[in-house]
Amino acid sequence: MKIPLAHIHVRAAERPEGYVEDVLSKGRVDGDFLEIDDVAYAGLVEKYQGGVLFPEPTLRDVLVNASTALARFIKAGCPVLSQEDIHRRSAVCTGKHEARPCSEWSTDGLYAHCALCGCSKLKMWLATEKCPLGKWPC
């Protein structure tokens, strides 16, 4: 799994001293992401959040993310992916072709969505968008 370093640093303000160093020590930094295995991630989830390392985005976060994505999409001329590419992205998130879905994919609440950025399956159609965990590029 890949976690954006920016998310780790944002959460550090709400966590005890040494949080960033502890989280980084559990994986390997690759560019702007921390690569971490599922076992280490689960340990951090339990230690720092009692089950949720990165709380789901607020409604405000979702609206800001969606507005930003829509602006990029329109500015680029509204490019939409092929059905094959959309299905490939969907399979990564929902686990359709794997043993289980992405650890951040949530079916709780009003709609199925990414618990990290709040996107729904609609984001998978937009050629200008990418997974915040780096699981599929734009």
Structural domain count, the chain: 2
User: Which is it for the CA torsion 32, 60, 47, 102, positive or negative?
Assistant: negative
Q: Is 71 in the same domain as 120?
A: yes
Q: Give all strands of the β-sheet with 2-4 in edge-to-edge order.
A: 2-4, 33-35, 28-30
Residue of 51, 56, 48 lying closest to 26 (CA atoms)? 48
Q: Is 73 in the same domain as 39?
A: no
Give mean pLDDT in consecutive 10-residue pieces for the chain, a chain of 138 residues: 83 86 95 88 79 66 87 96 91 75 77 79 90 78
Give every CB contact of residue 76 below 8 A, 6+ residues apart in sequence: 127, 128
Give Cα 39 to chain centroid, integer Å.
18
pLDDT of residue 19: 93
pLDDT of residue 48: 81
Q: CA angle, 30 as apex, 80 and 68 as ends, to 5°?
A: 35
Long-range Cβ pairs for the range 18-27 (8 Å, 24+): 19/48, 22/47, 27/3
pLDDT of residue 99: 59
pLDDT of residue 125: 92
The range of the structural domain enclosing residue 109 comes to 59-125
pLDDT of residue 97: 64
Supply the pTM of this predicted model: 0.57
Is 130 a domain residue? no
Say if residues 6 and 32 touch (Cβ distance below 8 Å). Answer: yes
Q: Is 63 in the same domain as 119?
A: yes
Q: Is 45 in the same domain as 67?
A: no
Is 102 a domain residue? yes
